[in-house]
């Protein structure tokens, strides 16, 4: 296990959206990369697993011990996203960006074992190389370079002011 986490917000709890999330997380051909996975037996997850041909092991109903690790990870991500959103000063409507930002920040953050030795990052374990982008806090004021097609006058400001909401991670954790 790589400890790599992702965040896919879906207010509709749609099976099609769950399929898109699987495809984004894994990249092309998820059934070749996911041997099996566990879930709480949510309808949208069952649908996605069936459509994608992935073996789906469910937790035992009414037995929280069978999915306690997953529930603890979900709690950790939600608490982290909540803290990121609060620290950024952004309004609640940006919660989905906060969740994605927190997960990626966790994936590229260096963790240490109980003896203080560095462990490989989740990003490294997943991709085989360290993340080469910048670590930028959610909501940081940044200047973007405009597209080359923009016509900028000689003495105009040559950047666009913006707010950092997260990294663009492509399907299969491609940066």
- Rounded to whole angstroms, the Cα distance separating 107 from 119 reads 12
H helix runs in 27-175, sequence order: 30-33, 43-52, 68-88, 95-108, 122-127
As a residue count, the chain comes to 175
Q: What is the pLDDT of residue 120?
A: 94
Distances (CA, A) of 44 to 7, 22, 23: 16, 11, 14
**SS3 call for 141:** strand
Q: What is the pLDDT of residue 144?
A: 87
- Rounded to whole angstroms, the Cα distance separating 65 from 112 reads 27
Q: Per residue in 7-27, pLDDT tens?
A: 998 889 999 999 999 889 988
Given a contact cutoff of 8 angstroms between Cβ atoms, the answer to whether 70 and 132 are in contact is: no
Contacts of 172 by beta carbon, 8 Å cutoff, 6+ apart? 25, 26, 27, 28
Q: What is the pLDDT of residue 128?
A: 93
- Rounded to whole angstroms, the Cα distance separating 24 from 172 reads 6
H helix runs in 109-166, sequence order: 122-127
H-helix or E-strand spanning residue 39? strand 36-39
Q: What is the pLDDT of residue 162?
A: 93
Q: What is the pLDDT of residue 62?
A: 64
Q: Per residue in 159-175, pLDDT tens?
A: 889 999 999 999 999 98
Q: Per residue in 115-165, pLDDT tens?
A: 999 999 999 999 999 999 999 999 999 998 888 888 878 888 888 899 999
Q: What is the pLDDT of residue 58?
A: 80
- Rounded to whole angstroms, the Cα distance separating 165 from 175 reads 16
Q: Per residue in 39-74, pLDDT tens?
A: 778 899 999 999 988 888 887 766 667 678 778 888
């Amino acid at each position: 296990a790589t400890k790599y986490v992702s965040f896919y917000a879906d207010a509709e709890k749609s099976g099609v959206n769950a399929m898109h999330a699987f495809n984004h997380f894994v990249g092309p051909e998820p059934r070749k990369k996911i041997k099996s996975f566990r879930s709480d037996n949510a309808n949208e997850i069952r649908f996605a697993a069936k459509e994608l041909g992935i073996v789906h092991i469910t937790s035992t109903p009414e037995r929280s011990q069978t999915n306690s690790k997953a529930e603890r990870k979900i709690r950790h991500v939600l608490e982290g996203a909540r803290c990121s959103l609060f620290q950024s000063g952004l309004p609640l409507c940006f919660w989905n960006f906060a969740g994605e930002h927190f997960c990626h920040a966790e994936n590229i953050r260096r963790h240490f074992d109980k003896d203080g030795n560095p462990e490989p990052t989740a990003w490294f374990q997943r991709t085989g190389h360290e993340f080469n982008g910048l670590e930028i806090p959610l909501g940081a004021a940044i200047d973007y370079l405009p597209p080359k097609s923009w016509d900028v006058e000689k003495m105009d400001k040559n950047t666009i002011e913006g707010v950092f909401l997260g990294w663009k991670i492509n399907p299969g954790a491609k940066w």
